[in-house]
Amino acid sequence: MKRWILSGAVLLAAAACMKVETGGGSMPGLFEIKSPGTTFGPLAQELTYEVECDRSWAVKFDSGEWAVVGRRTEMSSTKSSLKVSLTTNQSDIQRVDTLLFTAGQKVEKIVVKQDGISSFVSTREIDLSAGAQKITINAPDSWTLSSSQSPWFTLSAESGKAGSAEVTVTPNDANENVGDRAADLILACSGSQIPIRVTQSQTDAIRTVQDEWVFDSNGGAFQVEIQSNIELSVSIPESASWLTLEPSPKQTKALNSSILTFTAAPNRQFSPVSADVVISGGQASKTIYVVVGGWARVLEESTIGLYDTEGGSDWTYAEGNDQISRLYGDGSVSFSLRNPYEKAYWTLSGIPSNPSVTSFEGVLTRKSADGKETGGKLSLQILHTAGGLCWIQGDGTPGFIVKL
C-alpha cells in the first residue's frame, strides 16, 4: 500500500515572511534533496535523506515492498531529515524502487537500488560431500559466523572485520554414519543474520576386520566381521563352487556390525584354489581373498606314509624293514609301511608305475602283529608324482604318500 507522509509543521504567522506558497497547484521556490546514494548493500539498513523545501511536501516509495519511509525530523523552517529503512535483500538479484518527493506540482524522483545478497556472501548453500568448501564474505562491518547445532565441520575463521574475507568449511569425516546430515551456519553482520545451509551426503561404507583367509587343503568355515551403513550383497565367482555363504539376516540401511559365515570345502586337487569375494552395497564395495591350498603343500611338507583328512601323519618310517616297495611284472607297485603304534603293516598294492595313469583300483590290506590280514579294494586317484614319491587319494579314504 502506498503511503504519503505529509509535513507535520504548522505554518505560523511568524513564518509568513518566508513567502511560502501553499497553493496546491503552485511550484515551490526551493526544493532540494540530498541523497546518501543510489546503490546500497544487501543488508538491512537505515538511510538519511536531507530535504530543503520552502513549502509542505510529501514522500512515498513507488512500490514500497522492501523499502519503508520512516520518521521525519524538522531541523528548520525549510530543512528536514527523512529516515528510510531497507530490509535485507535475500535474493541474489539487485532490486530497484523509486522514492517520490512531491511539493505542489513538482515531483522529484530518486532511484534506490539494493544489491543482491551474493554481493555480501558468495553462497548460502554448501555441500561438503566432496570435501572442504569456501565462503567469500564482503562485509560492510565486523561479522561473526556460528552454528547452534553440534558441529561436524570446522571453520577456518569465525569472525572478521569489515572488508573481504574467505572462510573454509571442512568436514570432520566422510560421514560414514546413517543418512545425510545438515546444519545451519548463521552469518551475522550489521544487525542482519543470514543463514547458510551446510549439507553432507552419507558416504556408503563397508569395513572388514580381516580381508584375507588362507586354509590348507582341508578348507574350513570362517566368519567375516563387517561394519556397514548400507544393505549388503555378496558376489562369489561362479568358478568358486567350493565356497558357500550361509544364509544371514537381510541388512538394512543402518550403521551396524554383522557377520557373514562362509565355508570353504576341502580341495582335493594338487594345486591351490582361490576366489575374490566382493561384498558391495550402494556406492561402496569390499573384496576379501580366500585361498584353499592343494595337496602340493602337504606333499612338500610330509614324509612317506598314510595321512588322515586333517593332513597330519599317524605314520613314520625308517630305512630298512619298516617300509617296503616292490615292482611286479605287470607294472604295478606294492608299498608296505609299518605303523609303529599298533605294530602292524599296511600294504597298498596295484599302484601303476606309469605316471600317465591317473586312476586305478588298488587293494589296501592290514596285517596285524599276530599275522591276521584285513582289507579290500579301493578306487583311487594319483594326484601327483615327483621325486620318486606318489600322492594317492580315494573318495572317503585317507591319502597315501608312497615311495615308488
Please name each of the domains of the chain with its CATH number.
5-117 (2.60.40.10), 120-200 (2.60.40.10), 206-295 (2.60.40.10), 303-403 (no CATH)
Cβ count near 11 (within 10 Å): 14
Mean pLDDT, rounded, for 204-210: 88
Burial class (CB in 10 A: 0-12, 13-18, 19+), 50: middle
Mean pLDDT, rounded, for 105-121: 96
Residue 264: partners with Cβ closer than 8 Å, 6 or more residues away: 213, 215, 219, 220, 221, 222, 242, 243, 290, 292
The model's pLDDT over 32-84, given as tens digits with 9 standing for 90+, comes to 999 999 999 999 999 999 999 999 999 999 998 999 999 999 999 999 999 99
pLDDT higher than 50, residue 314 = no
Cβ count near 33 (within 10 Å): 17
3-state secondary structure of 351: strand
Main-chain dihedrals φ then ψ at residue 118, nearest 5 degrees: -65, -20
Determine the pLDDT at residue 176.
83
State if pTM tops 0.95. Answer: no
The grid coordinates listed for 71 are: 520518521
Determine the pLDDT at residue 22.
36
pLDDT higher than 80, residue 7 = no
Whole-angstrom Cα distance, residue 270 to residue 353?
19
DSSP count for the chain of H helices, then E strands: 1, 33
Question: Which carries the bigger pLDDT value, residue 385 or residue 327?
Answer: 385
The CA–CA distances, whole Å, from 189 to 39, 48, 139, 142, 167 equal 19, 20, 7, 6, 15
Whole-angstrom Cα distance, residue 362 to residue 328?
14
Determine the pLDDT at residue 78.
95
Please tell me the least confidently modeled range out of 207-221, 355-369, 384-398.
384-398
Determine the pLDDT at residue 307.
43
Mean pLDDT, rounded, for 348-357: 74
Percent of the chain with pLDDT over 90: 50
The model's pLDDT over 225-260, given as tens digits with 9 standing for 90+, comes to 988 888 889 999 999 999 999 886 554 444 578 889
